[in-house]
C-alpha cells in the first residue's frame, strides 16, 4: 500500500513543548512535555467501562466476547513464529497491493471489526477518529501526533481481500517479540506451549538471539497491522518524527508499555520514544 500525505511536519516539533500551563498537578516527563488533565482542559474524558459493561482489557471476565478473544489469542500464539514474521515482512515490504489517500484508507476500515478487542465490536474507523480527536484536544499544537493517531490502525486493512485477506490472528491483537522467551505478562501466555518456536533452545532465553540494549528496531515483533503500517510509512518516506513511527509500530506492544517487559532490549532512543507512546495510549 502506498499512502499519499500532503502535509509535512518538521522533526523538531517532537521535542518542543507547546502546552504551557500553570497547573502544578500536571505530570512533566523527562523530555519537558506535559501530560494535561483532560477533564480540566476540556479534553477527552475516558469512560471507566467498555461497551460490554466490563472494565477495559479485562480478559478474565466470563463472556461470549472474551471466549472469542481467547480463541483469537490461542491461534495467534500458536502461529506467530520467528520465520512467519520474517516471511510477512519480506512480502509486505514490497508495497504492491494498492495506492490510495489516507482518507480512502480510513473509509476501508468501515469494513473491519477487531476480533481481539475485549472492549469494542464497532468498525475501526470510529476508533481512529475518536483517538485523533482526543489527542488534538489535549495537544492542539502537536499536529504530527494528531496524524499519527489518525493513521495508527490503518494497517488493519490487511484483513480485506485487496490486501491479502490475512486471518485475524495475523493482523490484530497485542504484539510481542519472537526469537526470545515469551514473557509471562503476554495475554493468554499458556497457549505458547503449542508454538513451534518453543522447541528452539536459542529462542528460550531472556535475550534469545538478541543482545541486551540492541534496540527494538533490531527485534522481530509478531506480525500485524502495527508493523505493516510502520513499513508503509517508512518506505513512502514519511516526514513523521521517529516518535510517530515508534507509536505506530509498537502501540499494540502491551507487554512493554503496560507491563514493562522486554525493556532490556531497548536502546536510549527507544526510552525517549516510549514516553510519547505512553502519552498516546492515554487517549487510544
Rounded CA separation 111/284 (Å): 20
Rounded CA separation 232/102 (Å): 11
Rounded CA separation 264/196 (Å): 24
Rounded CA separation 13/145 (Å): 10
Rounded CA separation 98/186 (Å): 33
Residues making up the annotated binding site are: 57, 114-116, 127, 152-153, 156, 173-174, 225, 251-252
Residues making up the annotated binding site for Fe cation are: 127, 152-153, 225, 251
Rounded CA separation 127/120 (Å): 9
Residues making up the annotated binding site for substrate are: 57, 114-116, 156, 173-174, 251-252
Angle at 166 between CA 112 and CA 133, to 5 degrees: 35
Amino acid at each position: 500500500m502506498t499512502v499519499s500525505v500532503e502535509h509535512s511536519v518538521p522533526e523538531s516539533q517532537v521535542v518542543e513543548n507547546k502546552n504551557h500551563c500553570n497547573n502544578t498537578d500536571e505530570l512533566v516527563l523527562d523530555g519537558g512535555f506535559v501530560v494535561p488533565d483532560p477533564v480540566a482542559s476540556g479534553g477527552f474524558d475516558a469512560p471507566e467501562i467498555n461497551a460490554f459493561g466490563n472494565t477495559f482489557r479485562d480478559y478474565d471476565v466470563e463472556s461470549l466476547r472474551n471466549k472469542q478473544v481467547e480463541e483469537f489469542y490461542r491461534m495467534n500464539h500458536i502461529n506467530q513464529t520467528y520465520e512467519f514474521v520474517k516471511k510477512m515482512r519480506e512480502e509486505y515490504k514490497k508495497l504492491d497491493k494498492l495506492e490510495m489517500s489516507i482518507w480512502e484508507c480510513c473509509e476501508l476500515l468501515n469494513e473491519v471489526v477487531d476480533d481481539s478487542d475485549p472492549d469494542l465490536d464497532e468498525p475501526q474507523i470510529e476508533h481512529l477518529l475518536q483517538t485523533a480527536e482526543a489527542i488534538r484536544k489535549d495537544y492542539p499544537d502537536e499536529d504530527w501526533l494528531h496524524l499519527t493517531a489518525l493513521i495508527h490502525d490503518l494497517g488493519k486493512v490487511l484483513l480485506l481481500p485487496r490486501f491479502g485477506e490475512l486471518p485475524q490472528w495475523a493482523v490484530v491483537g497485542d504484539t510481542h517479540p519472537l526469537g526470545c522467551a515469551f514473557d509471562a505478562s503476554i495475554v493468554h501466555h499458556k497457549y505458547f506451549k503449542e508454538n513451534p518456536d518453543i522447541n528452539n533452545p536459542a529462542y528460550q532465553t531472556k535475550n534469545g538471539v538478541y543482545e541486551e540494549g540492541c534496540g527494538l528496531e533490531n527485534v522481530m515483533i509478531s506480525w500485524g497491522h502495527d508493523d505493516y503500517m510502520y513499513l508503509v510509512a517508512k518506505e513512502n518516506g514519511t516526514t513523521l518524527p521517529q516518535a510517530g513511527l515508534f507509536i505506530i509500530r509498537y502501540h499494540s506492544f502491551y507487554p512493554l508499555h503496560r507491563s514493562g517487559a522486554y525493556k532490556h532490549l531497548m536502546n536510549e532512543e527507544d526510552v525517549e520514544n516510549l514516553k510519547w507512546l505512553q502519552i498516546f495510549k492515554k487517549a487510544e
